[in-house]
């Protein structure tokens, strides 16, 4: 009633405001709708939800499922202890997939109306970096980071960095999702 009082100038208007504020008197009570069942999430997003993360759950589920599809994996989830739903959430994963063993690091940060996410998938390959570059169709070779690390460009939000490692090559695929 406090918020309406500045608009009421007389007892007549106060009575009308009271009727509006009590919808049970003005209209029949509607049955409360049951919420839709929550879609199932993967284990990483479920763990984040148990830790209090809400805003970034969709993005966490999207990226963790994409990065582990058809692979065997394990993860550690890092949740901001002070503000789990407003702070940075990070996930470190071991992913054993078709390309071999990868270490994948992700980070998720709430934005104004969504959640931004990024990941880096680090994989050791037995072949040369030139051979590994062929494994990333759609990525074009651009200037190296400096001298030794080649860069493959997949657009403004995706890059692959290729670093020689002994007789093989390490690929670091980085993608950011807004």
Handedness of CA 82, 87, 52, 97 (dihedral sign): negative
Per-residue pLDDT of the chain (178 residues; tens, 9 = 90+): 333 233 333 333 333 333 333 333 333 344 444 444 455 899 999 999 999 999 999 999 999 999 999 999 999 999 999 999 999 999 999 999 988 999 999 999 999 889 999 999 999 999 999 999 999 999 999 999 999 999 999 999 999 999 999 999 999 999 999 9
pLDDT digits (tens, 9 = 90+) for 48-67: 999 999 999 999 999 999 99
Note whether 133 and 150 are within 8 A (CB). yes
**Core vs surface per residue 68-97: b (16+ CB within 10 A) or e:** beebebebebebeeeebbebebebebebeb
Q: Label residue 137 exposed, middle or buried (CB < 10 Å: 0-12, 13-18, 19+).
A: exposed
Q: Write down the pLDDT at residue 39.
A: 59
pTM: 0.75
Residue 49 and residue 41 in contact, taking contact as beta carbons nearer than 8 Å: yes
């Amino acid at each position: 009633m406090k918020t309406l009082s500045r608009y009421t100038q007389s007892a007549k208007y106060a009575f009308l405001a009271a009727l509006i504020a009590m919808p049970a008197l003005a209209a029949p009570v509607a049955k409360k709708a049951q919420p839709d069942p929550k879609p199932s999430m993967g284990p990483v997003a479920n763990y984040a939800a148990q830790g209090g993360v809400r805003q970034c759950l969709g993005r966490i589920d999207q990226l963790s499922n994409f990065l582990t599809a058809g692979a065997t994996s394990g993860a550690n989830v890092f949740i901001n202890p002070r503000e789990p739903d407003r702070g940075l959430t990070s996930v470190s994963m071991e992913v054993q997939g078709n390309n071999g063993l990868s270490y994948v690091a992700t980070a998720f940060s709430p934005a104004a109306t969504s959640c931004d996410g990024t990941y880096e998938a680090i994989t050791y390959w037995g072949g040369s970096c030139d051979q590994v570059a062929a494994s990333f169709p759609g990525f074009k070779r651009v200037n190296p980071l400096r001298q030794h690390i080649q860069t493959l460009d997949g657009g403004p939000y995706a890059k692959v960095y290729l670093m020689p490692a002994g007789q093989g090559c390490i690929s670091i695929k980085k993608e950011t999702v807004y």
